[in-house]
Structure 1
Amino acid sequence: MHEGVRQVELVFLFLLLFVIIFGALAKQLRMAYPIVLVIAGLMVSFIPGLPRISLNPDIVFLAILPPLLYHAAWQTSWREFRYNIVSILLLAFGLVAFTVFGIAFASEKGFSLLYWNTGFVLGAIVAPTDAIAATSIARRVGLPQRIVDILEGESLVNDATGLLALEFGIALVVEGHTPSFAAGATRLVWLIAAGIGIGVLVGWLVRRLELLIDDGPIEMTIGLVTPYAAYIAAEEAHASGVIAVVATGLYIGRHSSVFFSPSVRLQAYALWNAIDFVLNGLVFVLIGLQLPFVLAGLHQYSRPLLLGYAVSFSVLVIALRLLWIYPGAWTAHLIRCRVQKQNDPFPAPRALFVVGWTGMRGVVSLAAALSVPETLANGQPFPGRNLIIFLTFSVILVTLVLQGLTLPPLVRALSLASRQGPDCEEDEARRLMIEAAVAHIEQARNAGPAATEPALTHMYEDLLGHHHQRLTALECRSQAQEQAAGEAEDHEVSAEPSHYLRYRELSQDLLRIERQTALRLRDDGRISDTVLRRLERELDLSETRISTS
């Protein structure tokens, strides 16, 4: 027992060191870390004598997936998610169905030991894209934010639709039972509706609880428990745990500005960024390390035949996504224009091609493949199970490495890289926040004893000068002036010792006014949640500095 525990500790330490080393290497190489970690894990898997580390699907679904989905949903801007909902749903539902049936029909023709029903299972396994890989790579190569928002929303939702299709497929193979259309539709509606309802309910309960507590460690612990609570509650209700976690993350992300104090919010972002990196690093390394297990049950196949299967199946998965993207985009554009009254121009074909090229698969697909039962209801082996796992592993490797490595030059060749310039939405929010602070200073000066106390007069004038300087730097948007604006944020206003408490109170009031202005702009839809978080971080840092000075 003691030796077993010691071995687990050593393996876990080895994996963490692996993630740290190759994560740092990825940063030095300016590559997305999922690609580097998968390649590194694959290379290490060939080293003889190393302990073999298998990927347990239950650990992925119950321990790793909920916090990753929760953090991704928390970071998602609700305004953009809602605006792009038609495009997201056509990818998360339409593309998943197209992929499942496309692979089901192709499997019977192209792969031995796979028939329509087992091909349906395989299609359901590889249909969902990875929630982290695609968006992390897309952000790194500088894709336009609209494309990143759609990819992010798609990967948050399509896990649920893919797992639902897998549930139907396994029932079809294991029990020989084909669900009716009515049964399938009813099950889908329950998965989604109950998942959303449970997720929002968990989020509401957490919000109410957080409003009663202002203690960093306790609130961090509540945050860690939240995704697991949503996932388990939904699964117990036979709803979608994935949808529940996403709904909870979106709800908490939308309301965290209200119930988190500045210091707790800073701690929460630091904690979740670390958790996100560690968990993602571990799963991508583990994907690469699975090659020996994947090949173990394929002795009846020759290596050239397996290689041909891997290449042809990966091409099929990529081609199905590319085939769907163009008619899917046309349908989404038609619905948005006629129903939602959105007047955006039709996306450029090159932008749609990039969306089609970013269909990376990840750990959910591999865990789903490993969760396929080994036997049927009659005790016979599950047909083609080992081949299903191998093909899943192959498409994960090809989409992560091939598409991930070719995406940056493709984006540059198609001139799609977004140019880093001023964010007009953020600049306008900053201007309104500063103007609100200036109005508050003038009101406080006129209502107080500043006229009879020169020291207070000087303090108010200094504060006004500081905020006017921020406005000037914002209006004249150059690199040097942006630096001056940053320096202006750290400007210390002179105040007599006897008036220092008044200065601190007024400074905190100004931060409160700016925060309320930013929240109002977000609630009115004038800025996104992403912009609000950037502004909030600056305000949180300033408030923490004033509180500790």
Structure 2
Amino acid sequence: MTASGSGVQSVEALFLLLLLFVALFAGLARRLRVPYPILLVIAGLILSFLPGMPRVDLNPDVVFLVFLPPLLYAAAWALSWREFQRNFSRIAMLAVGLVLFTIVGLAIVAGKLLPGFDWKSAVLLGAVVAATDAIAATSIARRVGLPQQIVDILEAESLVNDGTGLVALQFGLLILVTGRTPSAVESIGRLVYLTAGGVMIGLAVGALVAWFERWVDDSGIEIVISILVPYATYLLGARMRVSGVMAVIACGMYMSRKSTTYMSPRVRLQATAVWDALTFVLNGIVFVLMGLQLPYVMTQITGMSHSVLLKYGIGFSIAMIAVRMAWVYGETYLSYALRRWVQKIETDPPRPATIFIIGWGGMRGVLSLAAAISLPFTGFGGRPFPQRNMIIYLAFCLMFATLVLQGLTMPWLIRVLGLCQTDSNDHEEHEARRVLLREAITHLSRKRSKNRSHSKMLSELIAGYQRRLDALPAEQEVEPQELIDRPVRKEALLSVLQVEREALIRLRDEEQINDDVLRTLQHELDLAESRVHTGSILEY
């Protein structure tokens, strides 16, 4: 990320200006009830044409080394492992199959549709635009009322195909720079090494950090470590010449899974607040930067009128959206036919509305644009690579079209197709609450039988938990009784909260609830423990 001018002061001014834009337009998006990433991209595009606006070039190294690791890590942290397992075949077909389908399809037809493109440059174009963007999916999908199952699929797909897309880009660059096409065996071996190596490094780093965290109980240190982990994992993966993206994703999913055992409630609350702010700022700056790139992109292409460029941009964007829709529909119905007629498995037929939304939700983002800008100016033998500028332009058009067009129409389509979010986690959450309250009552009853001197106080706590259990699933709040700051009551409350927390983790490990439900209820327990420690509430 560079701006006209030089020196530290110009960089500081640019950073403050971007933060101001993020705050203003994110606030406006909230008022307009529009997902803020979409409005920030549009605002960046408008700002780029204002006179006196400094030119901001998107440096791919800044994206890959500064923005990408923490945002991927945060997205992987929020991913539900249970849902990832359950939807693995669907995710794999989208994250691997669709990427390959896009690249091969472009390699076949791009030479006939795009000026000066051969199959090698088409492979690079396909690798650049094939992957949906994890940042865009995570930032938009949850804000437009998508059903949870579709959100899980889109988020997991966008995370995994970030890795597969960048691996495909490495193959394309190898062909461009060396002029040699790798064999099938070499390609498969390299793919396995890049992907599996990245996953192994991510898991190793996660295991090491999780072990170290058990010996640390300082919120400031743990939060700093949590910010350093994605950067260290990404750089280690790059140093070992494997996929740093896959390493960060694997590490984030592992750390999220293990965080219930090594993070104290106080640290979890503080880390959540810090990461929410960090991801909001990084996301906001990224989306503004994407909108600001149009002048830079347009100045790179010469010899074509704006009307011709607009035609190519619109046509390419429509074609890529159609390719994704065709793959999603074809793969879904083919899989259904195989299960139903070949494997003889009774299964419900696919819902056309769900298939359409999954196809329509393939939004591209900064990763595609940064990958395009990172392409070299020359190819094999030092010969110029003239298609580079057109690839950057087409990547920008597809990014803008999918973010703005698909992002803005998504809420309307969800309503029209009857897919309004009904919160599929409600049932699991109610059942989890019921189990936690029963565990708490059982624990307090045992404690009362062993401690007759505090029988009255423990009976009051049991009665409070029983009222809350009877109130389910309405989840009515029980007004706290008179606050009595006694050590015994405090110790009883802390012990019962620990029992509830252990029961919650057990439900997650037994796959009776997913990670979203665990995080929701765990956050409530952490807040309750915080209130107990501060003495603001001793009746839980």
Normalization by structure 1: what TM-score? 0.93
Alignment correspondent of 2:500:
514
Contact 1:462 1:494 in 2 (8 A): no
Alignment correspondent of 1:83:
86
The answer to whether 1:465 aligns with 2:468 is no
Change (3 A) 1:220 1:334: farther
SS across alignment from 2:7: helix
Alignment correspondent of 1:60:
63
Alignment correspondent of 1:366:
369
- Give 1:377 shift: 3.3
Quick one: distance in 1 between partners of 2:426 and 2:215?
36
Alignment correspondent of 1:378:
381
**Superimposed CA distance per residue, residues 455-489 of structure 1 (whole angstroms, 9 cap, x where no aligned partner):** x33312211221111011114x2xxxx3x32x44x
Quick one: distance in 1 between partners of 2:216 and 2:337?
47
- Give 1:337 shift: 8.0
Change (3 A) 1:332 1:57: farther
SS across alignment from 1:140: coil
**Superimposed CA distance per residue, residues 111-156 of structure 1 (whole angstroms, 9 cap, x where no aligned partner):** 1122221111111100010113234322222221111111011000
Quick one: distance in 1 between partners of 2:331 and 2:501?
40
Quick one: distance in 2 between partners of 1:373 and 1:109?
24
Aligned residues: 531
- Give 1:50 shift: 1.4
Change (3 A) 1:197 1:314: same
Give the one of 51, 55, 78 matched to 2:54: 51
**Superimposed CA distance per residue, residues 229-280 of structure 1 (whole angstroms, 9 cap, x where no aligned partner):** 1111111111111110000000000010110000000111111111111111
Alignment correspondent of 2:301:
298
Question: Residues 160-199 of structure 1: matches in 2 within 5 Å?
Answer: 160-199=163-202
SS across alignment from 1:171: helix
**Superimposed CA distance per residue, residues 78-112 of structure 1 (whole angstroms, 9 cap, x where no aligned partner):** 01011111100110000000111112222101111
Quick one: distance in 2 between partners of 1:88 and 1:420?
21
Quick one: distance in 2 between partners of 1:69 and 1:493?
46
Q: Which amino acid aligns with 2:150?
A: I
Q: Which amino acid aligns with 1:181?
A: A
Question: Residues 1-16 of structure 1: matches in 2 within 5 Å?
Answer: 4-16=7-19
**Superimposed CA distance per residue, residues 412-439 of structure 1 (whole angstroms, 9 cap, x where no aligned partner):** 1111112258811111111111011111
Give the one of 518, 523, 530 matched to 1:544: 530
Change (3 A) 1:153 1:36: same
The answer to whether 1:428 aligns with 2:436 is no
Alignment correspondent of 2:144:
141
Alignment correspondent of 1:117:
120
Change (3 A) 1:147 1:265: same
Percent of aligned pairs with the same amino acid: 49
Change (3 A) 1:205 1:493: farther
Gaps of 5+ in 2: 536-540
Q: Which amino acid aligns with 1:128?
A: A
Change (3 A) 1:331 1:287: same
- Give 1:25 shift: 1.1
Change (3 A) 1:225 1:343: farther
Q: Which amino acid aligns with 2:388?
A: R
Contact 1:128 1:155 in 2 (8 A): yes
SS across alignment from 2:57: coil
SS across alignment from 1:378: helix
Alignment correspondent of 2:490:
504
Quick one: distance in 2 between partners of 1:409 and 1:519?
37
Change (3 A) 1:127 1:342: farther
Change (3 A) 1:83 1:343: farther
Give the one of 351, 354, 364 matched to 1:351: 354
- Give 1:63 shift: 1.2
Alignment correspondent of 2:538:
none
Quick one: distance in 2 between partners of 1:332 and 1:205?
40
**Superimposed CA distance per residue, residues 137-196 of structure 1 (whole angstroms, 9 cap, x where no aligned partner):** 222222211111110110000011111111111222232111111110000010111111
Give the one of 22, 27, 32 matched to 1:29: 32
Alignment correspondent of 1:453:
none
The answer to whether 1:525 aligns with 2:511 is yes
Alignment correspondent of 1:218:
221
Change (3 A) 1:343 1:467: farther
- Give 1:342 shift: 8.6
Quick one: distance in 2 between partners of 1:444 and 1:369?
64
Quick one: distance in 1 between partners of 2:227 and 2:342?
39
Quick one: distance in 2 between partners of 1:339 and 1:203?
41
Normalization by structure 2: what TM-score? 0.95
Quick one: distance in 2 between partners of 1:505 and 1:441?
11
Quick one: distance in 1 between partners of 2:239 and 2:341?
40
Quick one: distance in 2 between partners of 1:164 and 1:157?
11
SS across alignment from 1:287: helix
Quick one: distance in 1 between partners of 2:425 and 2:515?
17
Quick one: distance in 2 between partners of 1:439 and 1:337?
46
Change (3 A) 1:512 1:447: same
Alignment correspondent of 1:270:
273
